[in-house]
Structure 1
Amino acid sequence: MLHLIDPAVLGREDEIRRAFAGARPFRHCVIDGFLDDGFARRLLERFPAFERGNHLDEDGRPGGKSTHDRLRGLGEDYAALDDLARSEEFLALVGRITGIPGLLYDPMYFGGGTHENRHGQALDVHVDFNHHPATGWHRRLNLIVYLNPDWRAEWGGALELHRDPYDAANDEVVEVLPLFNRCVIFETTEHSWHGFRRITLPPEHAGTSRRSLALYFYTEERPAEETGPTHSTVYVDRGLPDRFVAGYTLTRADRDELDALVTNQTGHNRRLYREIERLQAELERTALNRLAGALRRRWARYRVRRQRPQ
Structure 2
Amino acid sequence: MDSSISKDISELIFNKIKEKQVELKASYKASKGQIGHFFIDDLLPEDLAKQCFDLFPNTSEMRCLKSIREYKYVSAQMDKHNELLEQVLYAFQDSKIVSLIGEICNIDSLYADNSLYAGGLSQMAQDNFLNPHLDNSHDAERERWRVLNLLYYVTPNWNTDNGGHLELWPNGPKKEPIVIESKFNRLAVMATHDKSWHSVNQVKVNKSRCCISNYYFSDEPLKASDKFHVTKFRGRPEDTFTNIILDLDASLRMLVRKVFKKGIRKNPHVYKKED
Q: TM-score under structure 1 normalisation? A: 0.71
Structure 2 unaligned regions, length at least 5: 1-6, 262-275
Residue identity in the other structure for 2:211: S
The total of aligned residue pairs comes to 251
State how 1:148-297 maps to structure 2 within 5 Å.
Answer: 148-168=155-175, 171=176, 173-201=177-205, 206=206, 208-222=207-221, 225-240=223-238, 268=246, 271-272=249-250, 275=253, 278=256
Shift of 1:279: 5.2
1:17-46 CA distance string (max 9 Å, x none): 122211375211010011233332221111
Cα distance in 2 between the residues matched to 1:276 and 1:187: 22
Shift of 1:140: 0.8
Distance 1:265 1:117, change over 3 A: farther
Cα distance in 1 between the residues matched to 2:131 and 2:217: 23
Distance 1:66 1:166, change over 3 A: closer
Highest Rg: 1 or 2?
A: 1
Cα distance in 1 between the residues matched to 2:116 and 2:90: 13
Higher helix share: 1
Tell whether 2:154 aligns with 1:147: yes
Whether contact under 8 Å (1:20, 1:97) holds in the other structure is yes
Cα distance in 2 between the residues matched to 1:27 and 1:280: 29
Shift of 1:3: 2.4
Cα distance in 1 between the residues matched to 2:142 and 2:48: 31
What is residue 57 of structure 2 aligned with on the other side? 48
Shift of 1:280: 8.1
Cα distance in 2 between the residues matched to 1:140 and 1:97: 13
What is residue 102 of structure 1 aligned with on the other side? 109
Cα distance in 1 between the residues matched to 2:174 and 2:238: 15
Cα distance in 1 between the residues matched to 2:171 and 2:22: 29
What is residue 133 of structure 1 aligned with on the other side? 140
Whether contact under 8 Å (1:165, 1:236) holds in the other structure is no
User: Identity of aligned pairs, percent?
Assistant: 20
What is residue 78 of structure 2 aligned with on the other side? 71
Cα distance in 2 between the residues matched to 1:15 and 1:239: 33
Q: TM-score under structure 2 normalisation? A: 0.79
Shift of 1:185: 0.6
1:259-290 CA distance string (max 9 Å, x none): xx97x66984684476267358659xxxxxxx
Of the candidates 2, 9, 22, which is equivalent to residue 30 of structure 2?
22
Distance 1:70 1:271, change over 3 A: farther
| SS of alignment partner, residue 86 of structure 1 | coil
Whether contact under 8 Å (2:89, 2:120) holds in the other structure is no
Distance 1:270 1:40, change over 3 A: farther
Cα distance in 2 between the residues matched to 1:211 and 1:29: 19
Whether contact under 8 Å (1:71, 1:82) holds in the other structure is no
Cα distance in 1 between the residues matched to 2:82 and 2:112: 20
